[in-house]
Amino acid sequence: MFVHFGMNTFHDQEWTDGSKPASTYAPSAIEVKQWVSTAKEAGMKYMILVTKHHEGFCLWDSKYTDYDVANSSNATNVVLELAKECAKQGMRLGLYYSLWDRKQNPNVKDRSADAAYNQYMLNQLNELVDMTKKYTDIVELWLDGGWEKENYRWPTQEIYNLIKKKVPGCQIGINWSIGSPENTDKHIVLPKDQQNYYPIRYFPSDFRLGDSYLPVDPDPKLFMAQGNTYYMPFETTVVLGERWFYNTTDKKYKSLEELAGIYQTATAQDNILILNVGPNRMGRIKDSDVDILRKLKEKLKL
């Protein structure tokens, strides 16, 4: 289960640009116990929390920025509290982290800023792993926003090494994972157009991502990097309605039949489906979302 919660929750926007004051993040509560119990009751195997989205606001108290919960209207360390609750309820935990940061690194065309920003990311990822590891080992790191720079400018190898050294079993994926043989750096390839032995855009990584796209049948699994072949299953991420974050205008839900069909297609070939919820401004997953997930579990006989 994906959990999108953060600055955007309070502005009816999917993306903000880092200009919203930290104080505008103002949940009246943070009900992580309900988040985890919802995932368990829906038959989910693990949860992925958005720790920092593209605007750069951090859901933990980071010593590397003031743009975080510690300087907001609710200083709860959401990452830490969710890690504790996952350990308590026996739920596995994954983390989402946006490489693209519109607050910390607003001018992505400025290559001279890369070294400092890359170190910032490594520092924060180290911080996240050390914090959660006290309670549970993360099982997945979901990285996003790589499209904003040329692939080689991201410290992919350093990130991979850092995470694997601390949590060897953690699986790492970077959104829009596969490139074109004609130009790996410039052209992403949608899942429907991917073929065996196409190049991996962000190497090393363990599995493919392409947001809400579904894999095709047959789904290719073998991809190339540095002259070697790697087995990479696909993870589909899907929203219940039309938005990732809570939004007061999000009223239209996918039907149970549509969600069941998505599940069957997404998981049929050694692949994974992650369903997203966006807790509301009271820090709680909406009753309507909980109800849909329970009914879907019953329909799928999970």
| Contact call for residues 47 and 1 (beta carbons, < 8 A) | yes
pLDDT bucket at 17, cuts 50 / 70 / 90: very high
∠ CA 261-265-267, nearest 5°, is 115
pTM greater than 0.75: yes
SS3 240: coil
Average pLDDT of the segment spanning 202-214: 97
Beta bridge partners of 236: 273
Average pLDDT of the segment spanning 152-161: 98
Residue 210 to residue 101: CA distance in whole angstroms = 19
Average pLDDT of the segment spanning 197-226: 97
CA–chain centroid gap for 57, Å, is: 14
Residue 86 to residue 92: CA distance in whole angstroms = 6
Structure tokens at 6: 């953060």
What's the one-letter identity of residue 51?
A: T
Domain 2-300 has CATH 3.20.20.80: yes
Beta pairing, strands 234-239 & 207-209 = parallel
| Contact call for residues 152 and 185 (beta carbons, < 8 A) | yes
Domain ranges (residues) in the chain: 2-300
**What's the pLDDT tens digit per position in 73-84?**
999 999 999 999
Going by C-alpha positions, the residue among 187, 230, 231, 233 that lies closest to residue 209 is 233
Main-chain phi, psi angles of 63, to 5 degrees: -80, 0
Above 80 in pLDDT, residue 274?
yes
Above 90 in pLDDT, residue 185?
no
For residue 184, the model assigns a pLDDT of 87
| Contact call for residues 108 and 99 (beta carbons, < 8 A) | no
What's the one-letter identity of residue 244?
A: W
For the chain, the straight-line distance linking the first and the last C-alpha, in angstroms and rounded, comes to: 15
Mean per-residue pLDDT of the chain: 97
Residues written for the chain: 302
Structure tokens at 164: 């694997």
